[in-house]
Structure 1
Amino acid sequence: MKPFLVSVSSLLFMTGTGVFAAPKVGDVVVTVIPAELKPTKGEPARLTPGACLTVLSTNDGLTVATGRVGKIDPAAVMPLTEAIAHLTKQIDADPKDAAAWLAKGKIAFHQNLLDKAIADLDENLKLAANSEARSVRGFAWKRKGDKEKAMADFDEAIRLDPKNGLAWRVRGATWAAKADYGKAMADYTEAIRVDAGNPDALHHRVNLLAACTEAKYRDGKQAVADATKACELTGYENPLYLAGLATANAEAGDFPSAVKWQAKAIELTKAAQSKAAMQTRLEEFKDKKPFRMTWK
């Protein structure tokens, strides 16, 4: 692929495959070549093709979010629809292009097209064993409600790459959905160990530490520490992690802080349905009631 000729502050995105509208805040762009995400805090993260990124800023480069928040080389990304077309052409030219199948599967998963994601990842795995493909396919099976197929994929993903943080994290969530909280905690902790700068891994453990129905797994102090780090890594701008910090503070008995952070999370949340659920939790915190949850 030819390199991009890009000025993200201009009106056009000029690449070796065409000319596109420049990305705007809120747009989704997709990596089409391996790229490095340089976060504001923490270690750089290597992104493979198919990573879907939300544009946060086009000032001084391209600032994006994919759990982590950081800057990425605009030459590595395309608008979502153009990336799909680009990858489809690659596969048409070479049906054995495993990387393109994987990237297409990741995009389909991002769009919640689970059957399509599984089909694309199946094609990738026919060509070679791949830990990332296994972990994303396992995530798709989990969302479809097939925990056993999900577990099998996560187990194999971890066997192939013990440092695959996504596989550890979502296998942990699958254990939580099976109400095996001890194994969930162990997997979340390993996800944090192998990928310490990933706020998603921290947030998963926060929920278990702060909101588990079984008291022996709750630890408000550790939950606050984990949630604070997740928020620091994302500049206190991600409503999901702010809500986690609120829940952690409620478990720790600091309800004024719980109310503060939940209100901030609501302020930053755009979806009306999500706001309504978060408002209910805010009222519980005002009544000095900690939050409890179960997993699916």
Structure 2
Amino acid sequence: MNLTSGNTHAARRGISAAALLACAVALAACQTSSGPAAQIAAIDTAQGSAENIASLTSVIERSPNDAQAYNVRGSAFGRAGRYEDALKDFDTAVRLNPQYYQAYANRALIWRYVGDDAKAVADYNRALQINPSYDAAYIGRGNLYRLSGRTQEAFSDFQRAIQLDTTDPRAYHNRGLLYQAQGQQNFALEDFSTAISLAPDAAEPYNGRGVSYLALGDEDNAFADFNTAIKLDEDSAEGWANQALVYERRGDKARARKSFQQAVKLDPNYGPAVAGLNRTKGG
């Protein structure tokens, strides 16, 4: 599969990188993703506090046929982790306004979180049927496709969002992950850099770009990106594990082990960190 076909880089040849660090880097790259919590955070700017939900409930009581009010409260419920309540509100929103494409896309995020990917895709499809130019739905559906291994469909969705001039960094970040997985590290670097320019306070694109730098043998820039990722998110197991990889490459097993230990502390099930900790025993 040639991911560069049909996009703005079509005139340029994809550049294959040397193999990623056999023991861990490829796994780390695969972990650079927008997880369910990040997806929920993207629903809306509404906060999930009890006070905010109570305020939104008052609005609904005054205007029980206001689809937008249910959509906003559903977003707040989603951020609060009250997924059943969120689904009920989004159900009501689309019942009141069957053309409410944002509510379908918001409901898809909740379906994604509770593990019903089929319903999530159906809701994204419905949102795009109503509004074929809705970039958020392409990005959300593309991420579902990416995580389920439907790589070409994922690429097409991210590409479509970018062609629509999206300012959502997830489109570039996720397309970068696909380029990265194909070994097209220079294209990946461009996308991660664009994602960083759109969201300079997000750790994930720095981790992603660092992995591509490391694959290209640019250890210094990789290390700088991993350190920035840690500064932005000290609770990122991925960031600490990636930092440890550079220490390990440099032969500093003591520092590598310390960083791997921090990663495992944050996420005991993070495979690259566990493997790295085992490799650096005695360092």
Q: TM-score, normalised by structure 2?
A: 0.69
CA 16–168 in structure 1, closer or farther in 2 if over 3 Å, else same? closer
Q: Which residue of 1 aligns with 2:259?
A: 261
> What is the CA distance between 1:139 and its match in structure 2?
1.1
1:279 pairs with 2:274 = yes
> What is the CA distance between 1:171 and its match in structure 2?
0.6
Q: Which residue of 2 aligns with 1:98?
A: 101
Give the number of aligned pairs: 225
> What is the CA distance between 1:110 and its match in structure 2?
3.1
Within the candidate set 114, 133, 138, 2:117 is matched to 114
% same residue: 20
> What is the CA distance between 1:15 and its match in structure 2?
5.4
Question: Matched residues in 1 for 2:151 and 2:263: separation?
Answer: 31
Are the equivalent residues in 1 in contact too, given 2:48–2:76 (CA < 8 A)? no
> What is the CA distance between 1:276 and its match in structure 2?
5.9
Considering only aligned residues, what root-mean-square deviation do their CA atoms show, in Å?
A: 3.1
CA 223–112 in structure 1, closer or farther in 2 if over 3 Å, else same? farther
Question: Matched residues in 2 for 1:153 and 1:187: separation?
Answer: 15
Within the candidate set 134, 139, 142, 2:143 is matched to 139
> What is the CA distance between 1:137 and its match in structure 2?
0.9
Worse-superposed segment, 178-187 or 121-130: 178-187
| Aligned pairs for 1:162-201 within 5 A | 162-201=166-205
Q: Which residue of 1 aligns with 2:28?
A: none
> What is the CA distance between 1:131 and its match in structure 2?
1.1
1:208 pairs with 2:212 = yes
SS at match of 2:280: helix
Within the candidate set 21, 32, 50, 1:6 is matched to 50
SS at match of 1:33: helix
Question: Matched residues in 1 for 2:169 and 2:51: separation?
Answer: 33
Question: Matched residues in 2 for 1:83 and 1:120: separation?
Answer: 14
Q: Which residue of 2 aligns with 1:225?
A: 224
Are the equivalent residues in 2 in contact too, given 1:154–1:168 (CA < 8 A)? yes
Larger strand proportion of the pair: 1
Q: TM-score, normalised by structure 1?
A: 0.66
Question: Matched residues in 2 for 1:17 and 1:52: separation?
Answer: 15
CA 283–49 in structure 1, closer or farther in 2 if over 3 Å, else same? same
Q: Which amino acid aligns with 2:97?
A: D
Q: Structure 2: 5+ residue runs without aligned partners?
A: 1-46, 59-69
Question: Matched residues in 1 for 2:273 and 2:146: separation?
Answer: 24
Are the equivalent residues in 1 in contact too, given 2:108–2:120 (CA < 8 A)? yes
Question: Matched residues in 2 for 1:96 and 1:148: separation?
Answer: 29
Q: Structure 1: 5+ residue runs without aligned partners?
A: 19-30, 35-47, 54-76, 289-296
